Amino acid sequence: MSKRITKEQINLRFNITTLLVYILGAILIVQLLNLQIVHGEEYREQSNTRLTRISDIEGSRGDILDRSGNKLATVRVAYNIELYKTNIETQELNNAILELINLLQKNEEKYTDTFPIKIDPFEFTISDSSLSSWKEKYDFDQDITAEEAFYKFKDKYKISSESIEDIRKIICIRYRITTEGYSSTKSIQIASDVKPETVAEISEKNSIFAGINIAESSIRTYTSGSLASHIIGYIGNINEDEYKKLKDTYGRNDIIGRTGVESLFENYLKGKRGEKQIDMAVDGTTTAEYVTKEAISGSNIVLTIDSNLQRIAENTLKNTINKIASGGFAETIDTKAGSVVVMKVDTGEILAMASYPDFEPEKFVGGISPSDWNSYRNNESKPLINRAIQSQYAPGSIFKMVTATAGLETGTINIWDRINDTGVYRYYNDYQPTCWLYTSYGRGHGYLNVSGAIKNSCNYFFYELGNRLGIDTISKYAKYFGLGEKTGIELPSESSGTLASRETKQKIYANEENSKKQWNAGETLSAAIGQSYNSFTPLQIAKYIATLVNSGKEVHPTIIKTILNADGTEESKENIRNFSNEALGITNDENEETLEIKPENLSAILEGMRSVTSETGGTAYSVFRNFNIEVGGKTGSAQAGENVNAWFTGFAPFDNPEVVVVAMVEKGSHGSYTAEIARDILAEYFGINYRNVEETTNAIPYVEQER
């Protein structure tokens, strides 16, 4: 049974509804007053800010420092001018472009101009092979002149000016907009690295330059010119293929490491981008901007090298090469290149690594010019190659300590055994090599033990010892010293070298008949004195000598001291090594067999090296005779076609070795010539003075001539 609604109930409901309408109306009136009067100006301003874009903030690239914290590669702030699309009339856009170009020209700023027509006189600047397709692209007749095409672009972009110069200024930017495209969120870069005063003028006249934005970026700079250039490496602009793969973390205008530490540690050095929001009025002027995501700087890479020692190493290497080439050692030799490695014996830290000729990393910043690139590429001395780790050479006599170690450790000889050098090794009828002394003076060294053989660099002694050992034993002991294998240094493009062995010959003659693959006795004799297929990098030689003076304990060369992250943390040694090994494709497999040289055997070998520099008749005695610290050393001269490469390797102090030095000069002729490089470096390292014997005497240096 339904209930009946009374008249009083109906009136009550009507009154409540009416009251609600009055209340809602009041609320709407209050809100309207709030919009129009109380906050009217604020909301009108906000309504004009219709365009919002997100702009990247670059995370600056990390620094590269030496072991003392001196910056070798760093960044400086640069200001770039960008243009975004805005909601303004064509004429207003043209006026803004003209004002901007005039300002840039007044301040002698460079800007990007790709428009292929020049004026006064009118000419196409595009190549003939591309001109036809260019005309087709813009629907021009093939016989159109440059002047006619110019004015068609004037009409296309609705340029009202009659000044040819002004017209072209506007066209050059409008043409880039056409070819590259832009939007309210994607800009084109008009100019880069502009002066602060230019930035200030643009900022003051913000209302004139619709859509113009000043973006900060960092530019790589190298504080010491070419110092350590092969270690640091250089950077380049990211190419299209790289960008497609890396566009999640790289922009189209980003840089990327190409060689050296810049390349291998790119992931650490590169910063992470941040973001900022930019609010613009409809006329394109900026009304506000604020950071929405902070940028993170890249990590700083601290190298093991010492800048002062590196500079000495580079200078003495260059000066000695020039001295050899100019006849400073009694003969004029066409030598132009070489390298040096200085390494701590206990840690394997590289204190200096020089390769000559070198290059200027700064020239690659922003893109190297064609003339500079061609000068590097066409230089027969190949200045972009790091000879210390990429070039490999026959070691010659500096290999003889390997053969000596093999002979002593296997018991093939002992430290007292003597071999009589008669000058000509007549063991084989069909191959009878001679000692270098016989070649020069027609006689042998006579009876020598292992120490005397190293001191005098006696080929005959090591022919006989090599013959007794055989190639398999020699190559086995060479592997203990890391020869013929990459050292694993944290630099790209390291060469593995070549170790004389049966396996090596098999690989070389893999496609030849079997007779050519067979090892022969004469090759063993040659390998025993560092020739045959033996070919190593200077860094491998440094590792070998450091391992030797450490009684056979393997030394791992390293160029990275530490990595300092932007958050203040320090990367662990293990992480750095694992990252480097993965980047280089190196496994962490350790040698199953290790070498522990008996103290008496090591003493005999090192005594021979001491006498090289400290006793009359030693092949580097004339260089070190007045040196304040006793040095163990070995000279080497190795045949390379028609030329002879020169080596010196040494360590000091003799009684408690701290540092190993390896110097190598291509076509250097005699190892004793390169000993001066090591002497200068050791003098700097130990902070000592020395008398140059050639300045105080007329003595001609005593030199070896083994081949």
**Axis crossing angle, helix 459-469 with helix 521-528, rounded to the nearest 10:** 130
Q: 78 near 58, Cβ under 8 Å?
A: no
What would the pLDDT profile of 58-105 be if each residue is shown by its tens digit?
A: 788 999 999 999 999 999 988 999 998 888 899 999 999 999 999 999
Measured CA to CA, the distance from residue 363 to residue 392 in angstroms comes to 28
Radius of gyration of the chain (CA): 37
pLDDT band for position 587 (cuts 50, 70, 90):
confident
What would the pLDDT profile of 174-209 be if each residue is shown by its tens digit?
A: 999 999 888 877 888 899 899 999 999 998 888 788
Using the predicted structure, report yes or no on whether residue 32 has a pLDDT greater than 60.
Answer: no
Can you spell out the DSSP letters for 75-122?
A: EEEEEEEEE---S--HHHHHHHHHHHHHHHHHTT-------SEETTTT
Handedness of CA 16, 21, 22, 28 (dihedral sign): positive
Using the predicted structure, report yes or no on whether residue 699 has a pLDDT greater than 60.
Answer: no
pLDDT value, residue 14: 59
The residue type found at 224 is S
| Mean predicted confidence (pLDDT) in 366-382 | 92
More confident residue, 56 or 202: 202
Can you spell out the DSSP letters for 548-567?
A: HHTTT-----B-EEEEE-TT
For tokens 């009828």, the residue is: 429
Can you spell out the DSSP letters for 25-84?
A: HHHHHHHHHIIIIISHHHHHHHHH--EEEEEEEPPPPPPEE-TT--EEEEEEEEEEEEE-
| Mean predicted confidence (pLDDT) in 106-119 | 93
The set of long-range contacts for 407-411, using a CB threshold of 8 Å and a minimum separation of 24, is 407/450, 407/465, 407/468, 407/469, 408/450, 408/597, 408/598, 408/601, 408/604, 408/605, 409/477, 409/595, 409/597, 409/598, 409/601, 410/469, 410/473
Q: 352 near 313, Cβ under 8 Å?
A: yes
Please name the residues in contact with 413: beta carbons below 8 A apart, sequence gap of 6 or more. Answer: 407, 419, 450, 465, 468
Q: What number of other Cβ atoms are within 10 A of residue 279's Cβ?
A: 16
Measured CA to CA, the distance from residue 76 to residue 219 in angstroms comes to 5
When the pLDDT of each residue in the chain is averaged and rounded to a whole number, the result is: 89
**Alpha helices, DSSP H, located in 370-435:** 370-377, 387-390, 400-409
Using the predicted structure, report yes or no on whether residue 704 has a pLDDT greater than 50.
Answer: no
Nearest CA to 305 out of 637, 65, 8 is that of 65
pLDDT band for position 4 (cuts 50, 70, 90):
low
Measured CA to CA, the distance from residue 191 to residue 215 in angstroms comes to 10
pLDDT value, residue 283: 61
Using the predicted structure, report yes or no on whether residue 281 has a pLDDT greater than 90.
Answer: no
pLDDT value, residue 207: 79
* Strand pairing report for 64-65 and 300-303: parallel
